[in-house]
Structure 1
Amino acid sequence: MSPADRALLQDLLAAYGPGGQEDEGREVCRRALEPLVDELTVDAAGNLVGLLRGTGGSDAPVIRVMAHLDELAMIVKRVEPDGTLRLSQLGTMYPGNFGLGPLTVLGDAERFTAVLLLGSEHTTQETPRVWQTKPDGGDQAMQWDDVYAFTGRSVEDLEAAGVHPGTRVCVHASRRTLVEFGDFIGSYFLDDRTALTALVAAARLLREQDRRPPADVYLVCTVGEEMGGIGATHASRTLPGEVTLALDIGPAEAEYQVPADSGPVVAYADDAVVYDKAISDRLLALGHELGLAPRAAVWESFDSDASQARSSGQTARAALLSLPTLSTHGYEVQHTETVGRCARLLAGFLHRPVG
């Protein structure tokens, strides 16, 4: 991973971005993309949209490339009389994936630290939320109604901080630092921070190599992917073109024959759609041509900005380029070369989208 990519990724990891409140990550991407694109705007849905003007005179398609700004997070369901917070998930995430520990509560008037707790292991069936999660007890997976956020504050203090049902809660900054070990990196929320980093890196490659796409390209940092592809469907409907190409993580698992150190993964289908075969074939062939050892995959228990836009009828053609990732929707791990490989394939495809 290049120093520029590493620095951008850490900035993105440090930026809180729960669904519906992606402002911090959007600002990081705005600063990174501004010198690399011809126009930069924010649309009505909150997507950041960068335009790379094409050279013209080609039958190549206008392409919308999308990577999402939002992260898996929590939302306050209710404030209890003792000042604890009951939480629901924003996106598909379980308490065991986040882990018990510090949180940041994004109150309207104040941000402050809370702690996600289950309860003491030194309890019996009189404390059912703990007992039912014990292997020698109820042996059930930990659910959101088992845990709570301890704030150490009164209801009146929470009201003054602007905390109420709908307040977003995120994994604390102390747990959002990029960890590097051997040939790998790890952190929460590599989904979709590494894809955003690859999107910026591809734009940088095109600028440094003085290459322009044959037709216009829209680089879209989308909102609300984890909540149903909200931003992507809006951008696919309102921006020119008929192709939506998503960048997202993908599971590095044996069932898909995708190892963690493999090249970019070209998806041919997921739970929502079958992706455009001509585009997928082109990405796969170009990946081989560039020596990136790409993989093909059919994802299950998965969808993306592109497949959600396609299944809702907002784009005519959809494609997905995935970054192989261990422990998706948990504490995620990628190879250090994954971002660079994905950026190279994306830049090559945008410059030569047809063979």
Structure 2
Amino acid sequence: MRELLRELVLADAPPGRENEVREIVIRELEPLVDELHVDTLGNVIGTRTGRTEKTIMLIAHQDEDWALLLTYISNEGYLRFNRLIGHRWNILGQRITIHGQQGKTPGVVGLSAPHIIPLNEYQQGYEPDFDKMFIDCGAQSAEEARAMGLEIGQYVTAEKHLQELTNERLLGNCFDDRVGLVAMIETFRRIRSETLPMRVVGVASVQEELGTRGAGPAAFGVEPDFVIALDVSPTGDHPNIKAGLVPARLGDGPVLLKADQFHVTSPLMNSWIITVAEQHGLSLQEVALRAPIHFGTDAAAVEVVKSGSKATSLLVPTRYFHTTNELIQYSDLEATVHLLVECIRSLDQLGE
């Protein structure tokens, strides 16, 4: 599971260009399901048959949570961009990868040395507007940049990394939502030889970070009765977070999301998951997020497709997501998988 997480973290998958991650998901999921296909948008959909036609869908998204889009090439070879997704305060000085016509091109989001920033701006807290930010890829002219295969409209992602810290904590990129993909795939791996009470479908969705665009079309084809979205949860266990605003913590196990900005999750699903956790002595954090927190998952988009479904979200607590340096505790990911597996084994307990 660790090696799969590492491989997924080091792959690039900006929203709408998830092919690197998609290839890994297909390779890992296909041997574990009875049928697998990729829809027109790029959602990967794997199905295990069950004793009934009732369907539960596990969904995690392929795309990552920090990406830019090239918008202009200057005569001097510098590149301007728009932010697709990610924390605006985590762009300056970042080492990046441009996905060009000739493959991947490294570069950096330029940041002036403090010595040459006007003193009054520096003392006030220098923060340039987006229209002043630029990428330096080494090109010395627009012609040279284009000869390198760079064009307007190409994706830019952060340079990838994954490091092990103390206390089983991992520092890396885009745990949002590589941890959800790992949890989904590992769950299918652990139940592959078991007879299932109902159909279990795993979906690796696309473009979640652009407004859950892939989840709806996937659900339209699957028509699930029940849904668990697998994603990350913000935590409140680090400095500068108002007490009580985000009760989730690293190391306390998966987070059952009961409400967010877009969705009040299914009481039936939540009660079932809580019961399974209690039966097996598993840790579970119950969280309802409120304003000013802006957060949501694929669950809200899936729940209202066709005649609807009962949906909830099970999340891995994660610090600093939507930046280029996110932090998780590996035991939380393991605990999430353990709970998911027991939930699948307890589908007979899930009522109407």
User: What's the TM-score, normalizing by structure 1?
Assistant: 0.88
Displacement of 1:166 after TM fit? Answer: 1.2
Could you tell which deviates more after superposition, 42-51 or 102-111? 102-111
Q: Which residue of 2 aligns with 1:234?
A: 217
Displacement of 1:77 after TM fit? Answer: 1.8
Displacement of 1:270 after TM fit? Answer: 0.7
Q: Which residue of 2 aligns with 1:343?
A: 337
Give the AA of the match of 1:350: I
Give the AA of the match of 2:314: L
1:180-329 superposed matches below 5 A:
180-207=165-192, 210-254=193-237, 255-299=245-289, 300-310=293-303, 315-329=308-322
326, 330, 336: which one aligns with 1:332 = 326
CA contact (8 A) 1:77 1:166 kept: yes
Q: Which residue of 2 aligns with 1:152?
A: 138
SS at match of 2:130: coil
- The answer on 1:7 being equivalent to 2:9 is no
Displacement of 1:99 after TM fit? Answer: 5.5
Give the AA of the match of 2:153: G
SS at match of 1:104: strand
- The answer on 1:123 being equivalent to 2:116 is yes
Q: Which residue of 2 aligns with 1:69?
A: 62
Structure 2 segments unaligned to the other structure (5+ residues): 238-244
SS at match of 1:216: strand
167, 178, 187: which one aligns with 2:154 = 167
CA contact (8 A) 1:64 1:244 kept: yes
User: What's the TM-score, normalizing by structure 2?
Assistant: 0.89
Deviations 1:26-58 (A, max 9, x none): 1111111122111111011101111111123x8
Q: Which residue of 1 aligns with 2:76?
A: 82
Structure 1 segments unaligned to the other structure (5+ residues): none
RMSD (Å), alpha carbons: 2.1
Q: Which residue of 1 aligns with 2:23?
A: 27
Give the AA of the match of 1:205: R
SS at match of 1:182: coil
Name the % identity.
Answer: 27
161, 171, 195: which one aligns with 1:176 = 161
CA contact (8 A) 1:251 1:326 kept: yes
The 3 A distance-change label for structure 1 pair 144 and 188 is farther
12, 24, 38: which one aligns with 2:34 = 38
CA contact (8 A) 2:92 2:111 kept: no
Number of equivalences: 336
The 3 A distance-change label for structure 1 pair 44 and 121 is same
